Structure 1
């Protein structure tokens, strides 16, 4: 069903109709960790920009929107991927998701916090 919606949004965009978009911005600024990431979703296409990362890489974990901030969410991540600092990654067909981003590859829970050893992911 989500592929159908993505295709429909793509066809609407080709005809000049746009449903709008959503932008997510993530920032971490502490003594040891710096990260700035932007993700923009429009017409079923998501673009993830790793603006800056103190580790040189932004590590993304995408959860279904239904998990939004819930540490006990039992749904699996939709995708995990990494993007070097200064570069971007584009994906089609991503609808209703929440991005979590970090400077390390450690598994993140749906609340965007590091997953504990007791959590199965």
Structure 2
């Protein structure tokens, strides 16, 4: 049975990373808006989740948000574009950590399901 809530949550976690990487390479303002929007959605979806690594995943997501919010302000004011890009890179690192934690969580879930079968 497909757990659609998990599908959407995982989808936005992966999309947060890919949209952020897209901005780092393109430096397109629309890509930055997409990256911050998707990151915020991914963060909201992590609230209320009941998983083993929920706190860690939420923390990584908040770190990404707290990098992308000032990056957006700096980028659109034009005050310090290199710093905006550096902050986006920091957010991408936090997104990678979220993906690693997601993979670890998936392994935990499969192991638990296997143990319940026997």
Which band: TM-score by shorter chain?
Answer: under 0.3
User: As a proportion of its length, which structure holds more strand?
Assistant: 1
Whose helix proportion is higher, 1 or 2? 2
TM normalised by structure 2 equals 0.26
